[in-house]
Chains A and B, each alone.
Chain A
């Protein structure tokens, strides 16, 4: 399976050199530049994760992706993730199929149940229903992707009868983002969607049984092998020390602050940070060589053919993010390819 490398971002608000937050509008314009640079340094994918908070204002990421599409010609563009549970599968398809047209076949979509839950009250959904919402909406999305008129009935939206859902474009890669739910792994296989493992804490190796479960389930459902990807947070700088020093204060602020508290994250300590940054943790923070070695090891352990580095924690400068993208594209990825080929 072709090995591909991408970048994911949640579009966290960046700060200027004095530590003052930039406006949402400036953050979003900078994000377009980051996507363009990702294309220039040869990366395969650029994804934006849907969020609805003042710290992460990318609630309509597909619009930004279309802007990046207009200025690039090679890189694939997608979500990381689209919170399908609180959206309308018809509308999600329409937006990404339009992106697929604008980008000349470069759209991808990663569907998720949503680990940040802000979109549920915002759009009037009950969090207690999130499993059922995702199950039903994933099923409808899979039906729409087949391309024909859709006839469908369920509990979460109005029924469809022989409905044409446009625009028609070439099929685009669809993934399911999985943070730890084995049911989601089986669901991805049953629909023939690729599997994106979101590994944001703990030892990535503990996900190996998920890859095995996925491959077994694909075979059981009579489907061809499909890619397994890994999404993990990180930050690349010229040296390990610099990467850690830049990343740590913002990591502490995010996970130790109100946002982290509301999601039940423990306040990080220097020890817990060192463990996550170390060889058996989930943070890909360091020099190009350190990060490349860790990515290669993780992909091998999990049988993954795709790695997406979630870059850009809130509070870093746009400049630091651009340098991260450049190092990732020009040094980390070529080195990972070398290591995987060895």
Chain B
């Protein structure tokens, strides 16, 4: 797959590194000029290609949003139409927002197929993925299927938890957030919460 990772902070390079390792063609964008993150990517995610956000998204089968939530508003929404978009962001610090981040992402990125995933696993727990359960929530079965395939390839055990509104189950404050549990316990926790 062609993967676009938006964000070159704590999480983005880790996801990019895993994706390169899984054999994907990976582009990565920070904020602004791609040259600013060249050195970082050379060492932290060798094989991923630093490009602008627009270029990364344009050529991608799957886009991972790994930018701080407060920067989400600065993304140009038009370029995401028809794209499968993984929302790996969190309200930070945890906010009592009326909607989960993914519902807000889907509302703003009209035409995108948004799937909540990877936000509930700390970046230091992603490597190695070691078959760790990775929850995902989305309204489009095709998009959820594609993201599940992607997560599986990274070494996670994808666990669908429901439609996009169920993405809140994966957010800070939920017992699923950051939990180190096997699949059975993970599914049980998800069921108890929904």
Contacts and interface: CB of A to CB of B under 8 A. Distances in A.
A181 B9 contact: yes
B93 A262 contact: yes
Find the residue from B40, B123, B179 having the highest chain A CB count within 10 A: B40
A266 B92 CA distance: 15
Interface residues of A, number: 34
Given A216-B39, A220-B39, A182 B92 contact: no
Interface stretch (B54-62, B77-85, B149-157, B170-178): B170-178
Contacts of B10: 179-181
Interface in A169-205: 179-183, 185-186, 201-203
Given A181-B10, A182-B44, A261-B173, A206 B124 contact: yes
A92 interface: no
A272 B178 CA distance: 11
B33 interface: no
B93 A117 contact: yes
Contacts of A128: 68, 70
Given A128-B70, A183-B40, A269-B180, A264 B125 contact: no
B44 A201 contact: no
A212 B39 CA distance: 11
A17 B13 CA distance: 46
The secondary-structure label for the interface of chain A is helix
A334 interface: no
A261 B123 CA distance: 17
Nearest to B11: A180
Nearest to B46: A209
B127 A206 contact: yes
A266 B9 contact: no
B70 A202 contact: no
Given A264-B172, A264-B177, A271-B180, A180 B124 contact: yes
Contacts of A209: 43-44
B94 interface: yes
A213 B10 CA distance: 14
Contacts of B180: 266, 269, 271-272, 275
Interface in B153-192: 172-173, 175, 177-180
Nearest to A131: B68
B122 interface: yes
Interface in B40-69: 40, 42-44, 68
A127 interface: yes
A202 B125 contact: yes
**Complex A-B, nearest 7 residue pairs according to Cβ-Cβ distance, in ascending order:** A202-B124, A266-B178, A213-B43, A128-B70, A180-B10, A182-B40, A264-B172
Given A180-B123, A182-B40, 11 more contacts: A117-B93, A127-B92, A128-B70, A182-B8, A182-B9, A182-B13, A201-B125, A213-B39, A213-B40, A213-B43, A275-B180
Interface of A: 117, 127-128, 131, 179-183, 185-186, 201-203, 206, 209-210, 212-213, 216-217, 220, 261-267, 269, 271-272, 275, 282
